[in-house]
Each structure stands twice: as structure tokens, then as C-alpha cells.
Amino acid sequence: MPANSVDRLAAKISQIAGADVELERPNDPAHGDYATNVALRTAPAHKRPPRELADELAQRVVDLPEVERADVAGPGFLNLWVARDWFVEALEEIDADYGGGFAQPHQRVQVELVSANPTGPVTVGSARNGAYGDSVARLLRFAGHAVEEEYYFNDTGRQVDLFRESVGARRRGEAPPEGGYVGEYLEEIAALDRDPVEAMLEEIRREIAEFRISIDSWRRQAEIEAEVAELLPRLDMYEAEGTVWARTSTYGDDKDRPLVRSADGSYLYFAADIAYVRDKLERGFDRAIYVLGADHHGYVARLKAAAAMLGYDPDRIEVLIYQLVHIVERGEARKGSKRRGDVVFLRELLEKIGIDAARWYLVSRSADQPIDIDVDLAREQTQKNPVYYVQYAHARIAGIIRNADKQPAASAAPAALDPLERELLKRLTDFPTIVAEATERRAPHALPIYAIRVADDFHRFYHDLRVIGSDEEAFRLALCRATQKVIARCLDLIGVEAPERM
């Protein structure tokens, strides 16, 4: 039995049609509550005109108690109007877990995110990585998977050494080394009497936590490198030009990757990468998800090749690529280099627009779309940020419920639903489809878009219809509670708070 009302209805109609039916929500209300194109899709197989099939289907579908009216339109669309009882029953199943738990099969999933080197505070670029990756993790968890979020950082490489040297030079009052790190934060770290990398790491942990990302596991590159020696003999490799190469090109990569410098036996970065791939998969994750900026998209092939070379199914490695965040100031692009102190840090963004607006903003665009942040405009954009529109709907509902508690309601569901009630309720029943698709496509940006639609429908409902003291009070309160749950869930999935008051 499908888990939610829309799927059950689709299943019933599928049975009648003898083909898989997907119910769509038409934009135009004249096209009904739901529409399906089965007749158009199956017409070639039946060798019959689509409209004829649609007519037959309409006559049989309208006998279902759930269906009030069925029209055939256009080339053969079937437009459906759903009955009042269907709505009332749909409302009853909207509980706190509504729309979740659909994962099939349940998996152990690791999402590795942010993973910026501890050479500076969290940048807005990394913040997008975090906002996106964490939302994907939350979606997978809501779907029913066992999800672990991991932050991997390099504590041994050249950049870290350079960072230490930069802090050291600062402490001695000397000029920074060639290409070294500069900026206010460097002075903050220099003022502390402790290891710069550990201090920076602690700062990153604090900022990540403040940004509502809960990391389950912090993994150091030094730990991974310790596994390399034992791993090497198992690799498909060869020596040439003073270097040991991994033969990744035979496993789907565009070229072979250098592993070890023969002269001194020092490991090159791919050695750690491949060891980390094995480390993840050996820890028992069915799936290891990497969240990488577009500047790392060349990684996809080599990571999958690494898995394949080690004898794992490369499909267990999944790489999510998001386009970069560009910093614009007074119409001019900044370079965004941490070393040159040219970046915008997350803490600066949080100061200006706050956590809710920042998380909303960074996750509302498709990962395929680059984001420009104009620092000067950030605060201005705050007031226009739709996050407050959605939060306001939640707070308004909380207000109604507070007031309603004072005088208990007693009334049955209305004999006929108001169009505003229907629209709102219908919107809520979209939620399971929205989350399932957002999860499947790793596209959390669908959530804020949907949440705005829910808030829209609620604000309209609220404006025209009275809840407390109305004849339909009990039903409308239930509708309010269901709306509140769906909004709260959407916000939670993207790491935004759902306030009781505003």
C-alpha cells in the first residue's frame, strides 16, 4: 500500500488504466486538481486515438469515490477533480513524519562535506558546500537512510605548513613568507599561545556548529596517509620518469595519476585520495557522497577509478558538484583567495544577514547555478528574503494555536470545503512528492521553493477565513497544524528555524 494519499489515488487509477499513472498538479485551475497523460502515452501501444482512450478512462475513473469529476482536454489529457472526503482523509495522515521514511532499500550513507583546510575561517564558498551537503544529508536521513556527515581536513600538506610559517612569522614580527597567508584572522591566531592549525580547527568547528551543521566525524589526512604504505601493493601501478603512477586511465579516468615520488618515496596527493576512498568504503558505507565545488569536478572520474581499481563498485562513490560562489563588491569580482585575504568569510555573512537568511539563500539555488554575493547588498537582500515570509506563516499558525488552546474547539469537518481550504490542503499533499524528488535528485533547492508556495496558500487562507470561533474551527485548526508541520519540516531540512513568534 503506497504511503500517501496521492500515491494511493495514482495506484487506483493505474489499475483502471492498465498502465503506470503519474498525477501532475496543473498550474491552471481549469485543468483540475490533478492531471495525467496516460492516454497520450499509451495510445501508440493501443493503436487508438488518445482522446478516445481518455474518454473511456474518464468514464471509469469518475466512478471512484475519490473522484468527483473527470474531464478530457486538449490532445488527450485527463483532468481530475478530487472529492471532499479524499481531502479530509488526506489531512488526517499529515503527522510529524509526513513525507518521510520512503527510502528503499535503507542504506548506510556517508556525506563528506566542507572539508576545507584549517588555514583560515570558513569561507562563503565552503558555506555553500555545507548548506548544500548538509541539506542533502538531512533529506537522506528523513528518507530513512543511516547518514553520517564527515569533515576531512589536510593537516600535513604544504598549505598547512605555509599557514604555520605565516603565523610564526607574524609572532616574530617578521614579514610573511612568499605566498603566505595574511589577514585579520591570521593576527587573531598569532595572538594565541598554541598550535595554529589546532586553533584554526577549533574555530572552524565552532563556525560549522553555529551554521547548524552537525559533523559526526572529523578525519585527518595524517590518519589516512598512515594507511597508504599498506595499500600501495594492491594498486595497479607502474614506474616512469621518476614517479610511481596509478593506472587509473584503464578504470575510466582520462589519465594516469602520480602516486609516489621515486626519489624520496614521498606520497603525492592522489595516494591519500585513493586511501581515503578505500577507508570510506571499508567502513561499511553502502554509498560515499562527496560534495565538491565546480573547480574540483575533474575529481569525479579519478575517484570512481580509484574505487574500481580497488575492486569496489564505482557507483558506491557519488560526487555532487555545485557551482561556485563569486564575491562581487561595487560591481567588481573579487578573486576569493584565502591567502591574499581576498575572501568573504561565513562569519561576515552571518553578521550581515544572520543564519536563517544565509542558509536559505545558499541552498535556494540549484547546485548547477553559480551564486554571486554582493557583500554590500547582502543586508538589503535580507529584508526581501523569502525566508521571513515562510517563517511568518509558521509563526502566525503558532499564534492561532496558542489562542485556540484557551477555548477548546468542537465542530465537525465542513460538508463542503472552501476553495482556499482545498488549495492549501492540496498543496500539503504535494509534500511527499516534493521531498522524494528533492532527495532523489539531490536538489534541496526544491524545498524553499515549495515552502513559499505553502506559505502563499496559507496566508491567503488566513486572510479570508477565520479559524477560531468559526463553525469549522476544529477542521481549520487541524489544517493549520498540518500546515505548520509541513513548513517546519521544510525549514528543518534546510537548517532554518521555525519560530513560534516573530
Partner RNA sequence: GCGCCUGUAGCUCAGCGGAAGAGCAUCGGACUUCUAAUCCGACGGUCGGGGGUUCGAAUCCUCCCAGGCGCACCA
Binding to RNA (CB under 7 A): which residues in 160-219? none
254 touching RNA, by CB under 7 A: yes
State which of residues 172, 194, 406, 501 lies at the interface with RNA (CB under 7 A): 501
State which of residues 110, 154, 166, 433 lies at the interface with RNA (CB under 7 A): 154
* C-alpha distance from residue 130 to each of 112, 121, 134, 151, 352 (Å): 9, 13, 6, 10, 19
Residues from 1 through 30 that contact RNA (CB under 7 A) = 24, 26-28
Cell 493501443, located at residue: 46
Surface-to-core class of residue 271, CB atoms within 10 Å of its CB (0-12 exposed, 13-18 middle, 19+ buried): buried
State which of residues 1, 29, 44, 233 lies at the interface with RNA (CB under 7 A): 44
Q: Which stretch binds RNA (CB under 7 A): 9-17, 191-199, 201-209, 367-375?
A: 367-375
Of 254 and 315, CB closest to RNA? 254
Binding mask 59-88 for RNA (x = CB under 7 A): --------------xxx-x-x---------
Residues 6+ away with beta carbon under 8 Å from 298: none
Helix, coil or strand: residue 426: helix
Q: How far is the CB of 27 from RNA (least distance, A)?
A: 4
Q: Which stretch binds RNA (CB under 7 A): 179-187, 279-287, 362-370, 406-414?
A: 362-370
The letter for the amino acid at 61 is V
Residues from 368 through 387 that contact RNA (CB under 7 A) = 368-372, 384, 386
Binding mask 384-413 for RNA (x = CB under 7 A): x-x-xx--x--xx-xxx--x----------
d(CA 408, CA 474): 9
Q: How far is the CB of 135 from RNA (least distance, A)?
A: 14
502 touching RNA, by CB under 7 A: yes
Q: How far is the CB of 422 from RNA (least distance, A)?
A: 14
d(CA 133, CA 291): 6
Alpha helices in 93-123 (DSSP H): none
CA end-to-end span of the chain, whole Å?
A: 41
Task: Give the count of beta carbons closer than 10 Å to the beta carbon of residue 76.
Answer: 21
Counting every residue written for the chain, the total comes to: 502
Q: How far is the CB of 252 from RNA (least distance, A)?
A: 12
Size of the site for RNA (CB under 7 A): 81
366 touching RNA, by CB under 7 A: yes
State which of residues 16, 19, 40, 83 lies at the interface with RNA (CB under 7 A): 40
8 A C-beta contact, residue 185 and residue 118: no
Q: What is the DSSP string of 355-397?
A: HHHHHHHHHSS-TTS-EEEEHHHHHHHHHH-HHHHHHHHHHHH
State which of residues 4, 5, 110, 117 lies at the interface with RNA (CB under 7 A): 117
Of 108 and 383, CB closest to RNA? 383
Surface-to-core class of residue 25, CB atoms within 10 Å of its CB (0-12 exposed, 13-18 middle, 19+ buried): middle
Of 22 and 93, CB closest to RNA? 22
8 A C-beta contact, residue 246 and residue 309: yes
Element (H, E) at 417: none
Nearest by Cα to 61 from 88, 1, 101, 21: 21
Residues from 317 through 336 that contact RNA (CB under 7 A) = 321, 323-324, 326
Residues from 258 through 317 that contact RNA (CB under 7 A) = 258, 261, 268-269, 294-298
Binding mask 452-491 for RNA (x = CB under 7 A): x--xx--xx-xxxxxxxx----------------------
Of 142 and 462, CB closest to RNA? 462
State which of residues 8, 41, 108, 481 lies at the interface with RNA (CB under 7 A): 41
